[in-house]
Chain A
Amino acid sequence: MNRRDYLLRKIFFSLVTLAIVVVLNFVLFRVLPGDPVRAVIGRNVRISADTQQALREQFGLDRPVFPDQFLTALGQWSRGNLGVSWSLRKPVGEVLVAKLGNTLLLIGLGQVLSIILGVALGLLAGWKRKTAVDVGALTFSLIAWAIPTFWLGIILLAAGSTWLGLPTGGIVSPSNVGKPLYTVLPDVAHHLILPTLTLTILYMGEYMLIMRSSIMEVLGEDYILTAKAKGMSHWQVLRRHALKNAMLPIVTLIAINLGFTVSGAIYVETVFSYDGLGKMFQTALVKQDYPLLQGAFLLLAVSVILANMLADILYTYLDPRVKAA
């Protein structure tokens, strides 16, 4: 099988997954309790039954759920219309895009740092197996992996703000709120330190553990012995023969993590009052803002599917055997 066929097959399955997710996403919010009309008008406002009925007709809620409502939703989603947030009174798409930028900044930074540090540490530990370096790195990583996110966040928040004078939350200082982020970069960076550190430590452990076991497995392979027999130094063996093979599981892990980063940020963003998707998610849940949640779920699902598809594509470049599978 060649690369084109392989990719077409992967894209097809991604689309199938997307279709299933879209259906589930629709169904889920129809079976949840709550009346959209009441949510829109608020709880304590008295509005006549006639007006409520008028609203219901305006929203199309008087028509059957299937197929009418489903097809309408499908048509609107495909045009990028995710509805209007009940709590924010803004189009859901607009809200998501605004928050997504902030989250990507935080998560992207945290992921890049944790991948670099985790992979490097795992490589070192696996290579210097059973030495003090290995035991130290392993202990650190197991602890880092096991720590609850919110707990580490709170500890770092307390320590960082008390001793280092770092900001306790937000994306920028109150005086800079509302300005475009790129005009106040030093302030943004200052606010990013603690949440990024939290994310880096949390994900680093996982990358380290996977990289360590992966490199240890690869170093035991016959082709490593062949490479050594050819007269290569340890470093050459590692760079030319071990690294690419050992990175394969890491690529999968990165894809999985990237897919879930959007949701993974919920704790960190809540602890650090960081105005991103995670925090929005939490607020939307508390306020039972179904359209917003529905949009967020869709975004999550799409990002998970996209990340996995990206990993599949990347794999064909890293591992020539994949195409044959």
Chain B
Amino acid sequence: MTSLPLLRVRNLSSEFVTTDGTVARALDDVSFDVHPGQTVGLVGESGCGKTTTLLSIMRLLPVSARITSGQVLFNGTDLLGLSEADMRRCRWKELAIVFQGAMNALNPVMTVGEQIREAILLHDLMDSSHATRRVDELLDMVGIAASRRDQYPHQYSGGMRQRAMIAMALACQPSLLFADEPTTALDVMVQAQILELLQKIQKLLGLAVVLVTHDLGVVAEVCDAVVVMYGGKVAENGPVDEVYNHPRHPYTQRLLEAFPDLNRPAGSLATIPGTPPRLNALPPGCRFAPRCHKAFDRCHIEAPVETGLGRGHTAACHLLEKTEAAK
């Protein structure tokens, strides 16, 4: 990629204070780039910090959490350094987000049209009558008839709600769209429609998209780059082709093996034994070490650092440090 990154996340760390008073390091030193028009997949098991990453970037963490260090450079401006008022102006106009499910992401007592209109008016983009017309345009773009503008979310199907959510996210013409598991809780046909819609809109508007998902197949299909997260850290990061064809981190390798592949339909799927670490009781060394089939002594003592592997591919594993050093 030759263009300057639209979003540059550098060494972002966040922590939660849990109810029993312990501190959970939800994000540790997370770095990745998003270039204009690019789709980046953020994958990993539940609780590995994917959503926290998005919320940290948008500075929408709950009160029990805070960002401890790092930079979020958006078009060269550090969002973490903005005043709350400037950050508010930036939200939705520059960075919009589609939440998972959209079941409750829309206010049940407000019409869908009004919720979209509200975003336009909030950012003073146009007057009231133009805004209403814009709502119809947006709904049309996602395939919802303008006649359903004044209906409430409960009168929509799950897929329609998600499409309305996408229309809402596009209301202020952001340059970067976060999609936090946009297809969770939808049936398979609708999932495909939503992904197709996202892709269509991305091409149409030249949007950059960060897609949070569990589904590695979706990443392969939709994304240009992938960030694999584990236990609040980036395990592996790189272009999708690179990472899928040459996974270097044992976690990525196991993750890909656990995914069905049409080329080996007969084989049973691999599983990764164990569960991700609890973020308030992290292992001392590499966070994946307790579940890693290639772990050796050093893995349990010292955390690996990110190693550059060329062509924008990086991974954090002691095995790579050894091999790269040997070269």
- Pairwise interchain contact B91-A226, C-beta atoms closer than 8 A: no
Residues 23-46 (chain B) with a chain A CB within 8 angstroms:
none
- Which among A221, A223, A231, A321 is the interface contact of B122 at CB below 8 angstroms? A231
Residues of chain B within 8 A of A240, CB atoms compared? 110, 118
Residues of chain A within 8 A of B106, CB atoms compared? 223, 226
B270 at interface (Cβ–Cβ under 8 A)? no
Interface residues on A, range: 20 to 34
B107 at interface (Cβ–Cβ under 8 A)? yes
Q: Least Cβ distance of A92 to chain B in Å?
A: 44
The verdict on A227 contacting B109 (CB below 8 Å), with A232-B122, A240-B118, A320-B152 known, is no
Majority-rule SS of A interface residues: helix
Stretch at the interface among B71-79, B96-104, B273-281, B292-300: B96-104
B123 at interface (Cβ–Cβ under 8 A)? yes
Q: How far is the CA of A107 from the CA of B49 in the complex (A)?
A: 54
- Pairwise interchain contact A229-B60, C-beta atoms closer than 8 A: yes
Q: How far is the CA of A221 from the CA of B99 in the complex (A)?
A: 12
- Pairwise interchain contact A223-B105, C-beta atoms closer than 8 A: yes
- Pairwise interchain contact B109-A231, C-beta atoms closer than 8 A: no
- Pairwise interchain contact B110-A321, C-beta atoms closer than 8 A: no
The verdict on A223 contacting B97 (CB below 8 Å), with A228-B60, A229-B91, A321-B152 known, is no
Residues 136-159 (chain A) with a chain B CB within 8 angstroms:
none
- Pairwise interchain contact A230-B107, C-beta atoms closer than 8 A: no
Task: Indicate the member of A231, A244, A324 with the most B CB atoms within 10 Å.
Answer: A231
- Pairwise interchain contact A230-B92, C-beta atoms closer than 8 A: yes
Q: How far is the CA of A258 from the CA of B119 in the complex (A)?
A: 39
B149 at interface (Cβ–Cβ under 8 A)? no
Residues of chain A within 8 A of B104, CB atoms compared? 221-223
A10 at interface (Cβ–Cβ under 8 A)? no
Q: How far is the CA of A40 from the CA of B106 in the complex (A)?
A: 66
Q: Least Cβ distance of B181 to chain A in Å?
A: 12
- Pairwise interchain contact B108-A231, C-beta atoms closer than 8 A: no
- Pairwise interchain contact B123-A320, C-beta atoms closer than 8 A: no
Q: Mark A227-266, 1 if CB is under 8 A from B, else 0.
A: 1111111001000110011000000000000000000000
Residues of chain B within 8 A of A245, CB atoms compared? 107-109
Q: How far is the CA of A241 from the CA of B110 in the complex (A)?
A: 8
Q: How far is the CA of A229 from the CA of B97 in the complex (A)?
A: 7
The verdict on A241 contacting B122 (CB below 8 Å), with A229-B96, A232-B88, A320-B154 known, is no
- Pairwise interchain contact B154-A225, C-beta atoms closer than 8 A: no
Q: Least Cβ distance of B319 to chain A in Å?
A: 39
The verdict on A230 contacting B105 (CB below 8 Å), with A225-B99, A324-B154 known, is no
- Pairwise interchain contact A222-B92, C-beta atoms closer than 8 A: no
Task: Indicate the member of B93, B104, B106, B155 with the most A CB atoms within 10 Å.
Answer: B104
- Pairwise interchain contact B154-A231, C-beta atoms closer than 8 A: no
Q: How far is the CA of A227 from the CA of B119 in the complex (A)?
A: 9
B89 at interface (Cβ–Cβ under 8 A)? yes
Residues of chain A within 8 A of B99, CB atoms compared? 222, 225-226
Q: Mark A282-325, 1 if CB is under 8 A from B, else 0.
A: 00000000000000000000000000000000000011110010
Count chain B residues whose beta carbon lies closer than 8 angstroms to a beta carbon of A.
Answer: 29
Q: Least Cβ distance of B5 to chain A in Å?
A: 22
Q: How far is the CA of A223 from the CA of B122 in the complex (A)?
A: 16
Residues of chain A within 8 A of B90, CB atoms compared? 231
Q: How far is the CA of A195 from the CA of B276 in the complex (A)?
A: 61
Q: Least Cβ distance of A86 to chain B in Å?
A: 52
In the complex formed, the residue of A with least CB distance to B154 is A321
Q: Least Cβ distance of B164 to chain A in Å?
A: 11
In the complex formed, the residue of B with least CB distance to A320 is B152
Q: How far is the CA of A272 from the CA of B154 in the complex (A)?
A: 50
Q: How far is the CA of A241 from the CA of B122 in the complex (A)?
A: 14
Q: How far is the CA of A225 from the CA of B168 in the complex (A)?
A: 14
- Pairwise interchain contact A320-B105, C-beta atoms closer than 8 A: no
In the complex formed, the residue of B with least CB distance to A244 is B109
Q: Least Cβ distance of A260 to chain B in Å?
A: 27
In the complex formed, the residue of B with least CB distance to A228 is B60
- Pairwise interchain contact B108-A223, C-beta atoms closer than 8 A: yes
Q: Least Cβ distance of B121 to chain A in Å?
A: 10
Q: How far is the CA of A319 from the CA of B105 in the complex (A)?
A: 17
In the complex formed, the residue of A with least CB distance to B85 is A233
Residues of chain A within 8 A of B122, CB atoms compared? 230-232, 236
Q: Mark A202-227, 1 if CB is under 8 A from B, else 0.
A: 00000000000000000001110111
Residues of chain B within 8 A of A321, CB atoms compared? 108-109, 152, 154
Q: Least Cβ distance of B161 to chain A in Å?
A: 11
B226 at interface (Cβ–Cβ under 8 A)? no
- Pairwise interchain contact A230-B109, C-beta atoms closer than 8 A: no
- Pairwise interchain contact A319-B60, C-beta atoms closer than 8 A: no
In the complex, the 6 A-B pairs of residues with the closest C-beta atoms, listed nearest first: A231-B91, A222-B104, A223-B107, A320-B152, A222-B105, A231-B88
14 contacts between A and B (CB under 8 A): A222-B99, A223-B104, A223-B106, A225-B105, A226-B107, A229-B91, A231-B88, A231-B89, A231-B91, A231-B122, A244-B109, A321-B152, A321-B154, A324-B155
